[in-house]
Amino acid sequence: MSSQMKVLTQLTFLFFFLSFSALAEKIKVFEFNQEELDSLEVRKVRGADAKTEYSIGKNDNGNFLKAVANNAASGLGKEIKIDLNNTPILNITWKVEKSINGINERSKKGHDYAARVFVVKKTGATPLSNRAMNYVFSSNEDVNIFHPSPYTKKSIDYVLATTKEHFNEWVTVKVNVKDHFKKFHNLDLDEINGLAIMADTDNSKLSSVAYFQNIYFSAE
């Protein structure tokens, strides 16, 4: 093999290695296509009058999930193990087209969000023992505000976006999930077990419209 050919081979190998590494450091959670939507587990919130309506759409940036909640509450859950040592950063692109203003999101009567993404860690034999970070697109609070859910201290509501700054426009946010589980739950996690998407208005009896797109974990 000539020296020129050898260098070319090495460069080609390096290119594919770097490309593979880049792909390995980005773990896509949802495809947002109809086949996936049909396969996802839908959980209606106990006591809610109706389920949130989920549908698939597409724009220039790819597929998205539309969530319409009319006095409704249900989530779409997906079991997936994410290595938080390699990819601790959750990335979310989302939009709220119709918000639910004027409610106290820290109270049981107002604990509704037009868009939220739960990150779940199983810590026991039953769902009630699980710990969760509930990342929300708030209609009333400021970014980086956080508080325990009024229903359980094992789930922390954390505002990543607000309609006070981004109403009816796409916004991309990111957060270090590993750091948050350590900070808020005192858990030094190597991995999480699943994610869930939800839009709910069952407590306020109002309605909302939101969109989710391009949810993935990355190294940074």
pLDDT, tens only, 70-99: 999 999 999 999 999 999 999 999 999 999
Examine residue 4 and state whether it is found in any structural domain, yes or no.
Answer: no
Q: What's the pTM? A: 0.87
What is residue 125's predicted lDDT score, i.e. its pLDDT?
66
What would the pLDDT profile of 31-49 be if each residue is shown by its tens digit? Answer: 999 999 999 988 878 777 8
In which domain, by residue range, is 126 found? 27-218
Per the domain annotation, does 112 fall within a domain? yes
pLDDT (average), residues 179-196: 97
Residue 208 half-sphere exposure, CB side, CA atoms within 13 Å? 33
Residues whose CB falls within 8 Å of the CB of residue 33, separated by 6 or more in sequence, listed in order? 56, 63
Contact 142, 135 (CB under 8 A): no
Q: What is the CATH number of the domain that holds 113?
A: 2.60.120.260
Domain-embedded: residue 90: yes
Q: What share of the chain is helix, strand, coil (3-state, %, to 5)?
A: 20, 45, 35
Residue 148: other Cβ atoms inside 10 A: 14
Rounded Cα distance between 112 and 72, Å, is: 10
What is the amino acid identity at position 181?
A: F
User: Does residue 18 lie within any of the structural domains?
Assistant: no
Give domain status of residue 1, yes or no. no
Inside any domain, residue 165 = yes
pLDDT in tens, 144-176: 999 999 999 999 999 999 999 999 999 999 999
Task: Report the amino acid identity of residue 116.
Answer: R
Does 115 reside within a domain? yes
Q: What domain count does the chain have?
A: 1
Give 182 or 11, the one with higher predicted confidence: 182
Any domain includes 14:
no
